[in-house]
Amino acid sequence: MSAAPLPEHPYRDAVLAELHARPVELVAPNMRVRRLVLGVPTRSGAMGAAMDQFRRFAEANGHHIKDRATRQYQFVTKARVATWEFHTEFITITWHTKLEDTVSWPDDIGLDALEEAELIGAMRVDMIDDPVLPDRVFPSFSPTSLCLVSVEHGNAQVAADFIPDDNKFIRFEFAAGKLSPLRRAIALRRILEVETYRTMALLALPLARQTAPALRAVEMELTDVMADLTGLETTEAVQERLKRLHDISVRSGQISEQLNYRFAASYAYGAILQRRLEKLREATIGPGSSLSSFIGNRVEPALATCQAMDKRLAVLLAKLERAVELLNVRISLDMQIQNKAVLETIAETAKSQFRLQHAVEGLSTIAITYYLIGILGYTLAGPLEMNGWDKTLVISILSPVALLLVFFGLRALRNGFMRSQQERPSKPARRNGR
């Protein structure tokens, strides 16, 4: 008997589907391929909304969507074959048509379906079925930025100058006459991905340049605050510096929030770009530069700038943390000193109250004894006179006894009151007369 099947991991289907999420599309020779890279808003749910907008366009135009979970859709119109790909934060729309097609912004592939998309990149690949690039393609390229390489182990050639044409598209010429249909499709996809990820990797550079003055201002202000930390003499001055540090922390946090995601994404795109360039297996031919050299000379300094700002932010946050810790220690020390002074004052007050209490107790004893002796004198005056006893002598004998009785009586009353005050919290509270 065969064993029962094991339960599947909830992500197993998703992991398997990822292998075929973006299949290579076979493209016939002598075709013109265009791609748009579109950004969506960074708010939550924006990509899902864009996918819903595309599905509505597809259903309205009779394009059947087989699997709504996939992130790549292909459909055919009368003049072209279009493919939509939904990535983490951007969308690519790729379509191929005849080499003679001059329509850069067709109206049958759903460009108007996205309501909030913004154009990030646009590229055009003219793929010809020749073994090498003909001389007629070179005059239209700028010689100062021309990249001319052989790819796929010398079986194909690519030329580009990364200068947008009048329709905002960067043009690549791709001679793929020696490649099989599958290798041609793979090489085409890598060319498109090189330009796509080059564009996405460089998105962080303008943001870094825009944010650099604000970061510099925060760094200088923090330096000023830390320079006079040793000269603080009052608690009010320490609290004022702590408030300034809090303001600096808020501003640096805002800068970090703006940069962190964009920088992390650019590093990832830069790594993907590097791998795509390596897989082209390019070699320089003619007077042009290689794609790796030309792109690397632009992308690598940009990513290095972002990494430098990342390090500056990390150092800034570390300095802020140390400064706040120092001020907190100073405030804690000041509070301990103040608390010690308060406790000493309380102790001195308690001593004074204790001495005053003893003084009052002594005076009370004398006053009560005085009145008690007076009462005894009036009370015993008659009996003493009848028995012939000397009143003054008797009162003088009774006075010490009365003084001792009053003294010990007051002490007993005080001790009993103190015991009742100490025992009261330990007694359970009565509820509802129980």
* More confident position, 211 or 384: 211
Residue 378, phi-psi category: left (phi > 0), alpha (psi -120 to 50), beta (remainder):
alpha
Residue 432, pLDDT > 50, answer no
Q: Tell whether 9 is covered by a domain.
A: no
Where do runs of H (alpha helix) occur along 61-180?
Answer: none
* One domain for residues 242 and 371: no
Residue 47, phi-psi category: left (phi > 0), alpha (psi -120 to 50), beta (remainder):
alpha
* One domain for residues 59 and 168: yes
* One domain for residues 22 and 166: yes
Residue 224, pLDDT > 60, answer yes
Query: CA–CA separation, 56 vs 54, rounded Å?
Result: 5
State the chain's mean pLDDT as an integer.
85
* One domain for residues 55 and 39: yes
Q: How many CB atoms are located within 10 Å of the residue 393 CB? A: 10
pLDDT in tens, 177-205: 999 999 999 999 999 999 999 999 999 99
Instruction: Tell me the three state secondary structure of residue 97.
Output: strand
* One domain for residues 74 and 113: yes
The one-letter amino acid code at 53 reads Q
Query: CA–CA separation, 201 vs 303, rounded Å?
Result: 8
Residue 286, phi-psi category: left (phi > 0), alpha (psi -120 to 50), beta (remainder):
left
The one-letter amino acid code at 195 reads E
Residue 106, pLDDT > 90, answer yes
pLDDT in tens, 111-139: 988 888 999 999 999 999 999 999 999 99
Residue that is last in its domain, among 291, 322, 340: 340
Residue 85 in contact with residue 23, Cβ under 8 Å?
no
* One domain for residues 345 and 248: no
Can you give the pLDDT at residue 181? 93
In 117-236, DSSP assigns E strands to 118-128, 147-151, 156-164, 170-175
Q: How many CB atoms are located within 10 Å of the residue 19 CB? A: 8
In residues, how long is the chain?
434
Question: Which residues is 38 bridged to in the sheet?
Answer: 91, 119
Q: Tell whether 91 is covered by a domain.
A: yes
* One domain for residues 165 and 31: yes
| Structure tokens that stand for 145 in this block | 């930025």
pLDDT in tens, 4-41: 678 888 888 777 777 766 677 888 889 999 999 999 98
Residue 367 in contact with residue 333, Cβ under 8 Å?
no
| Long-range CB contact pairs, 223-227, < 8 A, 24+ | 225/323, 226/319, 226/323
pLDDT in tens, 67-76: 666 788 889 9
Can you give the pLDDT at residue 344? 81
**Number of domains observed in the structure of the chain:** 3
Give 74's contacts (C-beta < 8 A, 6+ positions apart): 25, 81, 82, 83, 84
pLDDT in tens, 53-69: 999 999 898 888 776 66
Query: CA–CA separation, 384 vs 390, rounded Å?
Result: 7
Can you give the pLDDT at residue 396? 77
Q: Tell whether 12 is covered by a domain.
A: no
* One domain for residues 360 and 335: no
pLDDT in tens, 326-362: 777 676 766 777 788 888 888 888 787 777 777 777 7
How many Å is the Cα radius of gyration of the chain? 46
* More confident position, 94 or 4: 94
Rounded mean pLDDT, 90-99: 94
Q: Tell whether 271 is covered by a domain.
A: yes
**Which contiguous run of DSSP H or E holds residue 127?**
strand 118-128
What b/e readout covers 332-361, taking b as 16+ CB neighbours within 10 angstroms? eeeeeeeeeeeeeeeeeeeeeeeeeeeeee
Residue that is last in its domain, among 294, 320, 340: 340
Q: Tell whether 286 is covered by a domain.
A: yes
What is the domain range of residue 388? 341-417
Rounded mean pLDDT, 233-257: 82
* One domain for residues 177 and 265: no
Whether the model clears a pTM of 0.85, i.e. scores above it, the answer is: no
Residue that is last in its domain, among 318, 340, 362: 340
* One domain for residues 149 and 71: yes
Query: CA–CA separation, 186 vs 180, rounded Å?
Result: 10
Q: Is the dihedral of CA 339, 340, 342, 343 positive or negative?
A: positive
pLDDT in tens, 376-431: 777 777 787 777 777 677 777 777 877 787 777 777 777 777 777 677 655 554 44
* One domain for residues 262 and 298: yes
Q: Tell whether 246 is covered by a domain.
A: yes
Q: Tell whether 198 is covered by a domain.
A: no
Question: Which residues is 96 bridged to in the sheet?
Answer: 33, 81
* One domain for residues 181 and 300: no
Q: Tell whether 259 is covered by a domain.
A: yes
